[in-house]
Amino acid sequence: MTDPNPQPIAPKARPGASTLGEQLAARVAERIQRGALAPGARLPSVREGARQHGVSPSTVVAAYDQLQAKGLIEARRQRGFFVREPGTGARAGPAGGSGGAGLQRPSAHTLAAPAAPVVVPMVAPVDATALIRSMFQRGSAPAGPGMGTLPETWLDRALLDRALRRTLIHAPDALRYGDPAGDESLRQALARRLGGELGIAAGASQIVTTLGATHALDVVSRTLLQPGDAVLVDEPGWAVEFARLTRQGMRLLPVPRGADGPDLAVMAQLLAEHRPKLYVTVSVLHNPTGHTLSLAAAHQILKLAEQFDLTIVEDDTYAWLAPPYAPRLAALDGLARTVYISGFSKILAPNWRVGYVAAAPALAERLIDTKLLGSLTTPALQERAVAWCLDQGLLRRHAERVGQRLDAARVRVVRLAQDAGCRFAAPPQGLFGWVDTGVDTERLAVLLAAEGWLLAPGSLFHTTPRPSTLMRVNFASAQDLRFWQLFVTARNALGGAAVG
């Protein structure tokens, strides 16, 4: 991860630094010591550092040599320069393209282990994996609006404990592998929910359980795609899905997402020119905008899918936070050209990795084969616990309570954001808001991360990251007035320099 907010140095900018190399080393050292660059963060390459700071490559090499001598950074072969983990030895060997930068071993004093536990400072996310790592980070600092989950205080721990205890009492097969397709009781419960509440006709044999909705997306793409295939995706869209498909070697074709759905003209043109095999979309409570597909747009999408032999992967991750009457593509075409995906981590707990896929019968069998090769099985005990929560109506009542709390939080955050001078680029609904701050949110994220607040800058939600004044806020975790006060201070520090 490179430093997203470099501050160019200037000659004589720092008292006591006689050379530009020393000035640059001092500036980077200061950022490391105050936590703006965390252990493991990747520094710019020598060439990129020279461009950012307006100096020669030899100046950057000299600065990096000094930082290595102090034990603050390390060079990794063929990878570049990284901030060292506290208490670890520097790695030997020059980094690729270092221009001959040497590596000196830190002193014994530098390597001494700290007496007290070290709290790893929060780092501003610059890509999908960085955002996820930030979300997993533990510590005493507030989480902030960049989180993708509900706060722990909103979750029903007693419900989960009760469900697991009951499941363990009635689980004689707990020591064996589960059904390859997933626990039968959960698939039956899901079939009843899909048909009775969402209008999606799917029998238990058409449902395959997974380790969460993200795993479900992975199973579907590995079943239906080959490296080099083209895939339509919404833009803005979910950074993790972009990164996952790219890692699998797919070509992403972004379709602009509006209030009613995708730009149908762009979609038709991309279909005609590239013949993509899949369209991955969030039709209800879209991430990050919160938009929900209109019936008219859904009808046109299905017509295009039939015309161009396209499979639609409908990610309904936020189903428990959405009204059941919202139009689902899978309900409109009866899973003929759609694959429906959802899960429970957004409503029960992030670590309850229970998801599922509903598909046509022949495709469901293929998905089982892919699942077996990737994970062998899924946790039957947890699946059975979810089934019990569904059958008893406990999950529905929990979702209703969360929905009421989320409605109140949304009203508060809208007021706080508007008082802070922001505007909403989409009508606030669901878990996330799409907020225009008026400044570059990547730079904003760096400043606020130093204060312990996680942001999700708009650049993360594009297939090709680019500067953006937008950020995604989690209504449930953005209610703290302290965040918005620091937000205003940080935005003012950036001088209100909006990105066009």
Could you tell me if 222 and 104 lie in one domain?
Answer: no
256 Cβ partners below 8 Å, 6+ apart? 235, 262, 263, 266
Could you tell me if 403 and 364 lie in one domain?
Answer: no
Predicted confidence (pLDDT) per residue in 449-467, tens digit: 888 898 999 999 999 888 9
| Greater model confidence, 448 or 140 | 448
Residue 90 has pLDDT above 50, yes or no: no
**pLDDT computed for residue 71 by the predictor:** 83
**pLDDT computed for residue 341 by the predictor:** 98
Residue 338 structure tokens: 């759609």
Q: What is the DSSP letter of 262?
A: B
Which of 66-75, 280-289, 318-327, 358-367 is predicted least confidently? 66-75
Please say which residue of 345, 362, 392 terminates a domain: 392
Torsion over CA: 316, 320, 322, 328 (sign): positive
Amino acid at residue number 498: A
Could you tell me if 294 and 356 lie in one domain?
Answer: yes
**pLDDT computed for residue 365 by the predictor:** 97
Calculate what percentage of the chain has a pLDDT beyond 70.
82
**pLDDT computed for residue 499 by the predictor:** 43
Residue 90 structure tokens: 């520097």
Give the side-chain half-sphere CA count within 13 A for 222: 17
Torsion over CA: 175, 181, 182, 183 (sign): negative
Residue 98 has pLDDT above 50, yes or no: no
User: Residue 426: phi, psi to the nearest 5?
Assistant: -145, 150
Q: What distance in Å separates the CA atoms of residue 366 and residue 175, rounded to the nearest whole number?
A: 26
Residue 99 has pLDDT above 50, yes or no: no
Report the chain's mean pLDDT, rounded to a whole number: 85
Q: Is 456 helix (H, G, I), strand (E, B) or coil?
A: strand
Residue 495 has pLDDT above 90, yes or no: no
Predicted confidence (pLDDT) per residue in 371-411, tens digit: 999 998 898 899 999 999 999 999 999 999 999 999 999 99
Q: Within 10 Å of residue 57's Cβ, how many Cβ atoms?
A: 17
Could you tell me if 67 and 87 lie in one domain?
Answer: yes
Please say which residue of 360, 392, 424 terminates a domain: 392
Domain range for 323: 157-392
Average pLDDT over residues 275-297: 96
What helix, strand, coil percent values describe the chain, rounded to 5? Answer: 45, 10, 45
Q: What is the DSSP letter of 266?
A: H
**pLDDT computed for residue 296 by the predictor:** 96
Element (H, E) at 28: helix 20-33
Could you tell me if 82 and 168 lie in one domain?
Answer: no
Could you tell me if 162 and 276 lie in one domain?
Answer: yes
Residue 132 has pLDDT above 70, yes or no: no
**pLDDT computed for residue 12 by the predictor:** 42
Could you tell me if 363 and 460 lie in one domain?
Answer: no
Average pLDDT over residues 327-340: 97
**CB-CB contact of 60 with 104 (8 Å):** no
Q: What distance in Å separates the CA atoms of residue 35 and residue 123, rounded to the nearest whole number?
A: 8
Could you tell me if 212 and 262 lie in one domain?
Answer: yes
| Greater model confidence, 257 or 27 | 257
CATH number of the domain residue 67 falls in:
1.10.10.10
Q: Would 324 be classed as within a structural domain?
A: yes
Candidates 221, 359, 232, 202; CA nearest to 304 is 232
Q: What distance in Å separates the CA atoms of residue 379 and residue 437, rounded to the nearest whole number?
A: 43
Could you tell me if 141 and 201 lie in one domain?
Answer: no
Amino acid at residue number 2: T
ω into residue 142 within 30 of 0, thus cis? no
ω into residue 288 within 30 of 0, thus cis? yes
Q: What is the DSSP letter of 257?
A: B
**pLDDT computed for residue 124 by the predictor:** 56
CA angle at residue 352 from 350 to 358, to 5 degrees?
A: 105
Could you tell me if 176 and 274 lie in one domain?
Answer: yes
**pLDDT computed for residue 133 by the predictor:** 63
Predicted confidence (pLDDT) per residue in 215-235, tens digit: 999 999 999 999 999 999 999
